[in-house]
């Protein structure tokens, strides 16, 4: 792409975030020009990594808020691809309808409208979640879930158990984005990642990394997220952030890509993860007191990325060992683990 012609341009929403920071880095390394958005470009504490990433290639940082209609017009204008990554992710919201579900759907449609206006976007890649796939009542074990499976909004809304608003926000955002894309002739692909791990340029983050290190850090609130996932879905499924971002680029660039893509490389349980961590990091004491009560020994459910693999994508981080290689160092950078 650097052969003198115009660089392909990609918009990545929410550049301050964990996953977006890796995607921006990879796009720049691949020769893309990148336009990213943050809510407050003056908040250097959150976005200093973006200044560092500017050394890799053309990276423009623009102000945009999912709540403000038309806010993403400039960011998307002239782009070949739009990666919708920003979303409200406050799992512990007291009022999920108003603070999570409605803003997520409204914000997704807001960016989709900017894409329609731009008229240059060849493909939109929406970051959904495995939470939009596996939140359903299940009996027994041995279930395999793929892109055909949707979390059950009626069941989740009726039970209101755990962080129920998050899966609902992801299902409704995905469905509304698909409806809008069809109505406006936009090529939309959605990626549904499982719990995402691995190091990233962003250093002020609070989502999946604290949860996936909670057995080492002893952070009970972060462990609660892991426990909630296992209880709600019958497994703890993981993907490395580098594989996730490569998968997003893959489905953006492959003309034939269409529909949803589950992005998962390992299905495990808290018990298996605890055993693995104790073995890999003998210098830490795995907080076995967190494991009290009856715990799942083997996953009852497996999330399948067969569609991605069938279409030619290769995961590079296929085992827990691969995935956790850079996690302890990153955990130290984030202040989750002691130095």
Question: Is residue 63 part of the contact set for ligand NAP (CB under 6 A)?
Answer: no
How far apart are alpha carbons 315 and 212 in whole angstroms?
A: 19
In this chain, which of 10, 18, 81, 189 binds ligand NAP, going by CB under 6 A? 18
CB of 134 to ligand NAP, least distance (A): 11
From the CB of 292, what's the least distance to ligand NAP, in Å?
A: 25
- How does DSSP assign 137-194, residue by residue? ---SS-EEE-TT----HHHHHHH--SSTHHHHHHHHHHHHHHHHHHHHT--EEEEEE-
Only segment of 15-23, 179-187, 272-280, 321-329 that touches ligand NAP (CB under 6 A) = 15-23
* Subset of 75-94 contacting ligand NAP (CB under 6 A): 85-89
| Phi, psi of 20, deg, nearest 5 | -60, -35
67 scored as a contact of ligand NAP (CB under 6 A): yes
Q: Is 111 in the site for ligand NAP (CB under 6 A)?
A: no
Residue (65 or 254) nearer to ligand NAP, CB: 65
Q: Does residue 210 bind ligand NAP (CB under 6 A)? A: no
Q: Does 39 bind ligand NAP (CB under 6 A)?
A: yes
For residue 17, the minimal CB distance to ligand NAP (Å) is: 2
Asked whether position 195 contacts ligand NAP by CB under 6 A, the answer is yes
Which structure tokens are listed for 149? 């499976």
Of all residues in the shown chain, the one whose CB is closest to ligand NAP is 17
Least Cβ distance, residue 107 to ligand NAP (angstroms):
6
- CA distance readout (Å), 38 to 48, 104, 176, 221, 224: 12, 16, 23, 27, 29
Please report, for residues 8, 14, 28, 242, the alpha-carbon distance to residue 1 in angstroms, rounded to integers and kept in the order given: 7, 25, 11, 21
Which of 337, 89, 321, 339 has the alpha carbon at shortest distance from 215? 337
Residues within window 174-193 making contact with ligand NAP, judged by CB under 6 A: 193
Q: Where are the alpha helices (DSSP H) in the chain?
A: 18-29, 44-53, 73-76, 96, 102-118, 153-159, 165-184, 208-212, 214-217, 220-233, 241-253, 270-280, 306-310, 320-324, 327-333
Which positions from 254 to 293 touch ligand NAP by CB under 6 A, shown as an x/- string? Answer: ----------------------------------------
Q: Give ∠ CA 31-36-41 in degrees, rounded to 5.
A: 135
Shortest distance (Å) from residue 145 CB to ligand NAP: 14
Decide whether 31 or 147 has the Cβ nearer to ligand NAP.
147
Task: Name the one residue in this structure whose structure tokens are 């390992």.
Answer: 266
Please give the residue ranges that form the binding site for ligand NAP (CB under 6 A): 14, 16-20, 38-39, 46, 65-67, 85-89, 107, 127, 129, 193, 195-196, 205, 207-208
């Amino acid at each position: 792409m650097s052969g003198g012609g115009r660089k392909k341009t990609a918009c990545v929403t929410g550049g301050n975030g964990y996953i977006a920071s890796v995607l921006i880095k990879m796009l720049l390394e691949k020769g893309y020009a990148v336009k990213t958005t943050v809510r407050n470009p003056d908040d250097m504490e959150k976005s200093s990594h973006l200044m560092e990433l500017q050394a890799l290639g053309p990276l423009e940082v623009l102000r945009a808020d999912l709540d403000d209609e038309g806010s993403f017009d400039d960011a998307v204008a002239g782009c070949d691809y739009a990666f919708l990554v920003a979303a409200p992710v406050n799992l512990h919201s007291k009022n999920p309808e108003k603070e999570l579900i409605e803003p997520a759907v409204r914000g997704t449609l807001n960016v989709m409208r900017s894409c329609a206006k731009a008229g240059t976007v060849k493909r939109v890649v929406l970051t959904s979640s495995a939470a939009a796939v596996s939140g359903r009542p299940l009996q027994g074990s041995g279930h395999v879930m793929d892109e055909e499976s949707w979390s059950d909004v009626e069941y989740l809304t009726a039970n209101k158990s755990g962080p129920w608003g998050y899966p609902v926000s992801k299902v409704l955002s995905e469905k509304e984005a698909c409806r809008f894309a069809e109505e406006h002739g936009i090529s939309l692909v959605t990626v549904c990642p499982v719990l995402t791990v691995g190091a990233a340029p962003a250093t002020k983050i609070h989502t999946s990394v604290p949860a996936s290190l909670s057995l080492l850090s002893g952070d009970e609130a972060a462990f609660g997220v892991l426990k909630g996932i296992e209880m709600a879905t019958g497994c703890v499924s993981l993907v490395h952030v580098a594989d996730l971002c490569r998968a997003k680029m893959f489905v953006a660039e492959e003309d034939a890509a269409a529909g949803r893509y589950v992005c998962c490389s390992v299905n495990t349980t808290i018990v298996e993860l605890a055993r693995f961590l104790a073995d890999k990091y003998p210098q830490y004491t795995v907080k076995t007191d967190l494991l009290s009560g009856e715990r799942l020994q083997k996953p009852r459910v497996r999330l399948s990325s067969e569609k991605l693999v069938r279409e030619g994508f290769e995961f590079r981080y296929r085992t827990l060992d691969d995935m956790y290689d850079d996690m302890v160092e990153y955990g130290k950078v984030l202040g989750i683990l002691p130095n």
